[in-house]
Structures are given as structure tokens and as C-alpha cells.
Structure 1
Amino acid sequence: MERYFPRRRGCPLSQPTMKRGLKNRHLQMIALGGAIGTGLFYGSTSTIALAGPSVMLAYLMGGIVIFFIMRMLGEMAVDEPVSGSFSYYASKYWGRFPGFLSGWNYWFNYVLVSMAELTAVGIYMNFWFPDLPQWLSALVCLVSITALNLVNVKAYGEAEFWMALIKIAAIVSMILLGLGLLFASGQPFPENLSNLWSNGGFLPHGIWGLLEATAVVMFSFGGIELIGITAGEAEDPDRTIPRAINQVIWRILIFYVGTMAVLMALWPWDQVGTQASPFVQIFENVGVPAAAHILNFVVLTAAVSVYNSAIYSNSRMLYGLAKEGEAPAFFLKLSAHGVPVRGILVSSGITLIVVALNYFLAGHIFLYLMMIATCAAVISWVTICVTHLLFRRRCAAEGRATRFRSPLYPWTNVLSLVFLAGVIFFMAQVPDMQLAVLFLPAWLLVLFVGYRCRRRQG
């Protein structure tokens, strides 16, 4: 079976190697791109409905925990910058099954994210072209981004740089424009600010609604850990990865908490509609129609950007799994430019499923994909927390100091694990999310069966 599953970390590679073509500016924007996507621009509709103005707290709490998890991953990635980092670290410090589970779960998670983003592309295109089939928009995006990723890693990085730049400029502009609208009357204390505590109060559905919203909010942060996947292709990872990760917390404060604060102040939370993006609708309601078209372009760019990163990360994860012997050697093949072409084509091909789903179930699948992807993301984050605990224990036993230490170890690990358990619990309390929670143990069982079959073949 070695023909299909090579030996772990020992199979000879008589082929091109991956290139370190991602520069510091690429990594900075990739870190931002992973944090700004459909979960914020479109998925925020459901979180606003659950929590009202207190959705700001939901993003803040979730963001702090994600920052802690990013620091854990960053410590391992700086110490050992490899492609497909999740699987490699879990396998080395925890065991073969956690390595297998984390790698294939992350790949599956990003397949779901890819499907959600392709669905969102169709939704945003319908804002301009109501009669355009969603499946057609999804197909055009899939083919274009797949072709881009087949070129080289620099092409991916450059495209992500510019798409992330568009998102950042738009959010900053939106916040400034929103503040301008709030203070347009010339009053030092704008009347609109009362929207933050009127219409049922700051916590219209109580603490319970806030905690349920926090569970949904976590989808917005899915993908932010992509910075760890880039370690194997980053120039000077010792410097660029810590810089990118340390900036995550203030980005969360500005892009998530700041944006929600402006949106909730501009318009009563219970009047935010569910068509297109809440960003687009609110700007239409305050009489800025041109801004609505600009913002629709931005949210479309955001969806394409996250799909771009999904194709990139999935191909690298399959490559990393193949190097560990946990995926077929078929995925070890690199192009002359160091691109895992087969991983890209297989990952992209599987997301074609969503094109069919959009044909038969247009308008109904986004929330389902979002919730299942959140469950898969929780598995990845739990794996990072536990693997980091074991990593630090190994380092202490060997007397080895790391260069980018996670703060407040091990308390942040414990806090993060408790928080993630709470996310699953509150997802189980929301009717629309219960199917995803039921899916979680079934998916873990599938992974375990797949692992046992792999061991028998090996």
C-alpha cells in the first residue's frame, strides 16, 4: 500500500518543492482576509436577530478566544514552520489519530466554507441581476479562482492581498461614513445612539440570546487560523507570522465590534432585513443608494476572497496529509512552480456539489453550510488547544524554549476549551443549528472509521 500512502515523514520526493513566495504584506492581508468574510457581511443577519445590539459583545468574546487560539498555533508555527501545520503538530505531539482527524476535518471544514462562499456569491450577484441563476455565478467563481491558484503561490498571495485591501478600505470607509451620518445633525450626542439600548434594550433576548448569538458568531472567525497553514510558504516566518497574529486582536475590535456598533446605532436592530447583506440594506435605508452598490461589490469580493483562501488551504492540507502518510501519495505531486495541483483540482471539484445544490435549493443552504462548518471549525480549534498543551509539555521536558510564547499558558488553553464546549452547547439550543450538532458525533465516527481502515491498509 506504500504506493498509495507513503511512509510518514520519510517518503522520498523526487519532485519540485514548495516555494516560499508569500511576503510579509501577503501574510498581513491573508490574516485579515481570513477574518473578514461572509460570516460578517451576510451571516451577521442571524446574529443580530438573536442578540440585538449586544451582538457587539458576542463578537468581542469570540474574538478574544480566537486570539488566544491563534497565539497557541503561532507558537508552534514559528517553532516548526511546515505546510499542513494542523495535522503535523497533532500527529507529532498528540498521536496518529489526532493528526489524521485534524487534517481531514480541516480539509472538510474548508470544503464546507467553500460551498458557503460560492452560495454567497450567487446571493450577491442577484442583488444586481435578480434573474441570474445562483448556480451560474457559483460556477464562474469556481473556475476562475481554481485557475488562479494553479499558477503559483505568489499569484494566490497577490490576489488575496488586493481583495483583502478592498475589504479593509470598505469597512473603514463604512465606519467613517456611518459616524458621519450619526453626527450629521451637529448634536454632540446623536439621537440615533438610542438604537443601542431602545427597542427592547441592549440585551433584547437576555443573556441567553447573547450566548446563542456567540455560537453563530464563531463562523465569522472560521479561517482566521489560515495564517498557520501559510508557514511552510512564508518568507522569514520567524518575523512575519508573529506580526500577523499579534494584530488580530485590534482587527477584531475595529472590523467586528466597531462595524456592529455603527450598524446598530444607524438603524433599529429589529428592522434590519434579511435580503442581501445588512450592510447594503442599512445604507439603502439611510438614503445612500450608491453606497449600497459599492458595498455589494465589497461583500462579493469578500466571498471570492474567502473561497480563494479555501482552495489554497485545502490543497496544502492534502499535501501535508500525504507527506504524513495519511492521504494518498497522489496528492504529493507538485507542479514546476511548487503548486500542489492535484489537491487544488480535487478540492475545487468537490465544491462543484454546491453548484448543484444552488440549482435545486437556491436560498436555503447557506445557513446549513454555515452551521456544519462551525462545528468542524470547533474541532480544529479544540485540536490546536490540546496539541499546544502537549507541545509545551514536550518543550519543558526537553528544556527547549520557544520564540513566540502563548500568553497565560495553560489557563488560556483551559478557558478556550470551556468556551468551545459552550459554543456546541448553545448551538444545540437553536433549532436551526441542532442538525449541525447532531452531525458532529457522526462526523467524528466517520473519521475514526476512516483512520482504522487506513491503519489496516498500512
Structure 2
Amino acid sequence: MTKPEAGNGESGNSLDAEQVGYKQSLGRRQVQMIAIGGAIGTGLFLGSAKNLNSTGPALVVSYAIVGVVAYLLMRALGELVLHRATSGAFVSYMREFYGERGAYVTGWMYWLNWALTGITELSAVALYVQSKAESMPKWLTVLIALAVVLVINLLSAKAFGEFEFWASIIKVAAIVLFLVVGLVYVIGGIHLGAHKAGFSNLWENKGGFWPTNGDFHWYGPLLVMSSVIFAFAAIEMVGVAAGEMKDSRTEVPKAVNAVVFRIGVFYVGSILLLVSMLPTSSYAADPEKPQNSPFVTVFNEMGLGWVGNVILAVLIVAAMSSLNSGLYSTGRVLRSLGVSKQAPQFTLKMSDSGVPWAGIVMTSVVYVFGAILNAVDPDAFETALEASSICVAFTWATIFACQLRLRFLVKRGVIEKSPFQMPGSPYTSYFGLAFLVLVIVLLAISGWQSAPDFLDKTDFLVVVLGIPIIAALLAIGWLVVRKNVLANTDGHLEASWDANGPTARNKGGGSAAVSAEEADDTAAKA
């Protein structure tokens, strides 16, 4: 049975080259908080208001179902990470199991995901700040927010981890405070304004637990799953950070196994308490107004309006945390693409502290232009948000697909078994893939129903027009880089393994990337 190299850059293995130059500096507490922080963001603090208003108490079911898929995703990712930890993450796994074209598409889709998400988060920070400081220009807020996370990312992976650690502490503290107060009100049957809190609100809510009358539809909880997926986006960050962990083989399983607890408590628990404390019609439906956070609504009903300012501060922290993660991820993914000649070669440049600064700066420039576009066209915010949901679904799908291929090769005796196995494989991964396809279909359906005018059906247009446009751009890009990739791999674009063992590229007949020595030399020059 063949065991691939560990990916530490010490060998000439083609898959190791992208790992050269990184420092294993992320410790246990940082890894745990990166995993927790990835599961708590503006999607919960703010975006859940719109879904509560349109779906009713059954939103609890939506979060629970997506939570199950998210847990399976993390188990699939855990199996891949313990097979081989790498900062190239999904890009590197696609290269290993599906070849260079798969790595190219995965890498640029993941970069697009964070580029779009970063634009929306920057715009959100400007919106939050302006809600309290009306004289503060949005463009200035955007530049300040971006400068802060840019400096943090350029310092070191440890600096990134420290920021995420404290940001996660703040987010977790806010959720825990709400959970404690919420439980007291619900169990004690205390009134919030004219409404009495209690679990009975689950079925006494207008329309019942699963409303189907009036503007509600029986399939409503299914239609909102695309936005719920966006709320869970970034939990896969652990896969990218694994390449810079001090002990990924110990820490990743712990972080992954804790995901189901975090999802159950933080997400499902929060939504359950929200619908038990107030009728879902009490939650405002405009997610672009920070004062409409469902948590702010609850505390206002308690007569604690000042807590709204605290929640606003948490929203800013959550958005900054997302920006921080976006720069961290894209810098590493772009370098993985650059190593294989699928991205501009300047993305290979690294600092002495092991930071792929060129890719990080490249993404920052895109963030600035995107934020400017949003200032000119406010509709760009919503379009970018929905397009990023498609990218998230694609990234999750590649993780399931890579796990299926890894397990197939393990069963064939080609690769050594990962010590952290995906439960129920292959059926659980097939379920995950089928669910993600369903989410995209439901996104198009909800988009079609969202507005009477065709041009206002944003989600529908993003799916039926956005997906073909993205596919066309990726196809054109592949034609542009294919010649360089062929030269770099000595004509070997296939995966590193087939059903019988290593392929030609893995036997010395071609490299999937530049050599480790070349990558190391590039990092030294930077």
C-alpha cells in the first residue's frame, strides 16, 4: 500500500511543493476558536431575521438539516486532512484525486467565493458603522476595516489565529449570554412586551409551527436553505488552516467532532429560543439594517435597548472576522494555484514569516473595487451575496467528492487508510452531494417567486445566468493557462492516483506543481 508524503515540503513530491515556506504556528486554542468562529457569523446575528419572518418556527428544522450536512462535511474534510494536511486544502485534494483541471476550477471558485463574501462583509461593516455615525463616509470605513485585517494577515499565521481567537470569544460570549437569558425567559414564562415567552409559541405562532397559509408555503423551510448554508460558510476554514497547525493530526479531529455540538447549541438553540420568545412576525425582514437583528429585537422587547449597541459591535466583529478569514484563505489558495502555473506567478511570493502576501494583497485590491461598486449600485450587495452561496455549495461538493475518491482508493489498497474516517461512507457523502444540488435548485425556485418583475428575480438570475457565465469564464481561463500547466507537469494533467496505484505524474513522469526547490527559492526571493 502506498502512503503519500506528509506534505511538509521536505521531499520532492509534487504535492509537497505548495506547502514549502509555511510555518506550523497555530496552536490548540487558536485551532479550536477558528473552528468555532467559522460557525458563527453575520448570517446568524443578522440574516436569520428575514428567514424567521418568511418561514416561521419551522426555520429550526432548516438549520437542523443544514447542520447535519455541515457536520458530515467536516467529517469528510477531517478524513482528507488526516490523509494529508496542506494549506492548499481543497485545491490540493482535487489535484491529487481529480487532476489539474479539477484543482483549477476548485481554486478559482473558492477564491470567487471569498472575493464576493469579502465585498459583502466590507459593505456590511460600512453599513453598521454608518447606522451609529451617519457622518462617517462608507468609503473611509471600508478602507479602515480592510487595512486592519490586511495588516493582521501580513504579519503571520499566528497573528491571524490570535485575531480569530478573540473574535470568536466575543461572538461566543454574545451567543451564550443570549442563550442564558433566553432560557430564563422561556422556562420562566416571562413576558416580553405583550407576548409571553414559552415553548408553546412554537405551535401557537400565527400559522402554527409550519405555516402554509397566506404568504407562507409548505416548502418555505426548504427554500431558505441556500441562505442558511451561507450562514454556515467558513466552517471549512479548518481545512486551510491545517497546513499551519502544530499538530493537525490531534487537533483536527477534536475541532471536527465539536462541530455538531456547536451547531446544536449556537445555531439550532438560538433559533429555537428566538421563535419561543416572540412571534416570528415580530422580527423585521430587512437584513440590511443592523437594528433589525433578531437579537436586538428581543433585547428591545426586554427593555434593554442599550444591548442593541453591544449586538452592533458584535456584528462588526463578525464581519471583520469573515474578512480576516477571506484574506487568509485566498492567499493560500492563490499560492497553491500559482505553484501549479494556474494563477499569476507573483502569487508564489511569501514573507519570511511564512505569509503568502502577494495573494492576500491581490484579494484586497478586489475587495476595494467591489466595495466601490456596491456604493454605486446597492443591488450589487444582494447579487454578490447570492452568488457566493453558489460558490459555497460548490466548495462543499468538492470536499465530498474528494472524500469519495480517497475512500475508493483506500478500499483498492492504493492509499493507506486515514486515521479519521467519515462515518457511513460512501452514502453520507452521496447524501451531502444530493443535498447541495437540491439547494441550488431551490435557490432558483425561491428567486423566481421572490418578485413579479423578471429583472428583480435576483436568485433565479444568479442561478440560470450566473452559473453558465462562471462556467464559461473558467473554461476560457483554463484554455489560457493550460499550455503552461502542461509544460509544468511534463504533459501530465491527470490525478496522482488511479485504481491501480500511482499514475505517471506520481512516479516521476511529471510534476503536478513546480518543484519544492523552486517554490522555496521563490519564497526566499520574496
TM bucket normalised to smaller: over 0.9
CA distance in 2 between counterparts of 1:238 and 1:61 reads 28
Q: Is 1:351 paired with 2:377? A: no
CA distance in 1 between counterparts of 2:179 and 2:143 reads 33
For residues 31-110 of structure 1, the aligned pairs below 5 Å read: 31-110=35-114
Question: Which residue does the alignment assign to 1:255?
Answer: 266
**What TM-score do you get using the length of structure 2 for normalisation?**
0.81
Question: Which residue does the alignment assign to 2:461?
Answer: 435
Residues 108-153 of structure 1 deviation map (CA, whole Å, 9 limit, x = unaligned): 1011111111122122213322343333322210111101111111
Structure 2 gaps of 5+ residues are: 1-11, 448-457, 486-526
Question: Which residue does the alignment assign to 1:196?
Answer: 202
Residues 202-244 of structure 1 deviation map (CA, whole Å, 9 limit, x = unaligned): 1123431010012221111111101000111011110001111
* Paired AA for residue 456 in structure 1: K
Q: Is 1:392 paired with 2:407? A: yes
Question: Which residue does the alignment assign to 2:471?
Answer: 444
Q: Is 1:413 paired with 2:429? A: yes
Structure 2 counterpart SS, 1:223: coil
For residues 84-163 of structure 1, the aligned pairs below 5 Å read: 84-163=88-167
Q: CA deviation at 1:10?
A: 8.1
Residues 172-192 of structure 1 deviation map (CA, whole Å, 9 limit, x = unaligned): 1011112223345579xx654
Structure 1 gaps of 5+ residues are: 1-6
Q: CA deviation at 1:24?
A: 1.1
Structure 2 counterpart SS, 1:45: helix
* Paired AA for residue 196 in structure 1: L
Q: What RMSD, in angstroms, separates the aligned Cα atoms of the two structures?
A: 2.2
CA distance in 2 between counterparts of 1:87 and 1:154 reads 23
Residues 343-385 of structure 1 deviation map (CA, whole Å, 9 limit, x = unaligned): 11111111102321342234x4433222110001111111111
CA distance in 2 between counterparts of 1:191 and 1:228 reads 40
For residues 220-231 of structure 1, the aligned pairs below 5 Å read: 220-231=231-242
Per the alignment, do residues 191 and 175 of structure 1 end up closer, same or farther by CA in structure 2, a change over 3 Å counting?
A: closer
Residues 395-434 of structure 1 deviation map (CA, whole Å, 9 limit, x = unaligned): 2222522100000000001111111111011000122411
CA distance in 1 between counterparts of 2:388 and 2:405 reads 26
Residues 245-275 of structure 1 deviation map (CA, whole Å, 9 limit, x = unaligned): 1111110111111111111122211121133
CA distance in 1 between counterparts of 2:444 and 2:184 reads 40
* Structure with bigger gyration radius: 2
Per the alignment, do residues 286 and 99 of structure 1 end up closer, same or farther by CA in structure 2, a change over 3 Å counting?
A: same
CA distance in 2 between counterparts of 1:218 and 1:271 reads 24
255-264 or 321-330, larger mean C-alpha shift? 321-330
384-393 or 274-283, larger mean C-alpha shift? 274-283
Q: CA deviation at 1:11?
A: 10
Structure 2 counterpart SS, 1:22: coil
Q: CA deviation at 1:88?
A: 0.8
Question: Which residue does the alignment assign to 1:4?
Answer: none
Question: Which residue does the alignment assign to 2:14?
Answer: 9
Question: Which residue does the alignment assign to 1:379?
Answer: 394
* Paired AA for residue 14 in structure 2: R
Q: 1:18 aligns with which of 19, 22, 36?
A: 22
Structure 1 ranges of 4+ moved more than 4 A: 10-13, 183-187
Q: 1:178 aligns with which of 166, 178, 182?
A: 182
Contact in 1 for aligned 2:185/2:197 (Cα 8 Å): no
Contact in 2 for aligned 1:54/1:203 (Cα 8 Å): yes
Residues 147-169 of structure 1 deviation map (CA, whole Å, 9 limit, x = unaligned): 11111111110011000111001
In percent, how many aligned pairs have the same letter?
A: 34
Structure 2 counterpart SS, 1:429: helix
Structure 1 counterpart SS, 2:224: helix
CA distance in 2 between counterparts of 1:150 and 1:88 reads 23
CA distance in 1 between counterparts of 2:261 and 2:15 reads 41
Contact in 1 for aligned 2:113/2:388 (Cα 8 Å): yes
CA distance in 2 between counterparts of 1:90 and 1:186 reads 53
Structure 1 counterpart SS, 2:218: helix
CA distance in 2 between counterparts of 1:231 and 1:351 reads 25
Q: 1:360 aligns with which of 355, 372, 376?
A: 376
Q: 2:229 aligns with which of 218, 229, 246?
A: 218
Contact in 2 for aligned 1:87/1:103 (Cα 8 Å): yes
Question: Which residue does the alignment assign to 2:500?
Answer: none
For residues 308-319 of structure 1, the aligned pairs below 5 Å read: 308-319=324-335
Q: CA deviation at 1:286?
A: 2.7
Structure 2 counterpart SS, 1:207: coil
CA distance in 2 between counterparts of 1:278 and 1:358 reads 25
CA distance in 1 between counterparts of 2:17 and 2:317 reads 40
CA distance in 1 between counterparts of 2:17 and 2:188 reads 67
Contact in 2 for aligned 1:134/1:358 (Cα 8 Å): no
In the comparison of the two structures, how many residue pairs are matched? 449
CA distance in 1 between counterparts of 2:340 and 2:31 reads 25
Contact in 2 for aligned 1:114/1:307 (Cα 8 Å): yes
Structure 2 counterpart SS, 1:263: helix
Contact in 2 for aligned 1:9/1:323 (Cα 8 Å): no
Contact in 2 for aligned 1:139/1:355 (Cα 8 Å): no
Structure 2 counterpart SS, 1:404: coil
Contact in 1 for aligned 2:15/2:96 (Cα 8 Å): no
Contact in 1 for aligned 2:53/2:282 (Cα 8 Å): no
Contact in 2 for aligned 1:222/1:377 (Cα 8 Å): yes
340-349 or 177-186, larger mean C-alpha shift? 177-186
CA distance in 2 between counterparts of 1:422 and 1:455 reads 32
Q: 2:244 aligns with which of 233, 246, 269?
A: 233
Per the alignment, do residues 264 and 52 of structure 1 end up closer, same or farther by CA in structure 2, a change over 3 Å counting?
A: same
Contact in 2 for aligned 1:122/1:137 (Cα 8 Å): yes
Greater helix percent: which structure?
Answer: 1
CA distance in 2 between counterparts of 1:159 and 1:109 reads 22
Residues 319-366 of structure 1 deviation map (CA, whole Å, 9 limit, x = unaligned): 11122332222111111111111011111111102321342234x443
Per the alignment, do residues 417 and 11 of structure 1 end up closer, same or farther by CA in structure 2, a change over 3 Å counting?
A: closer
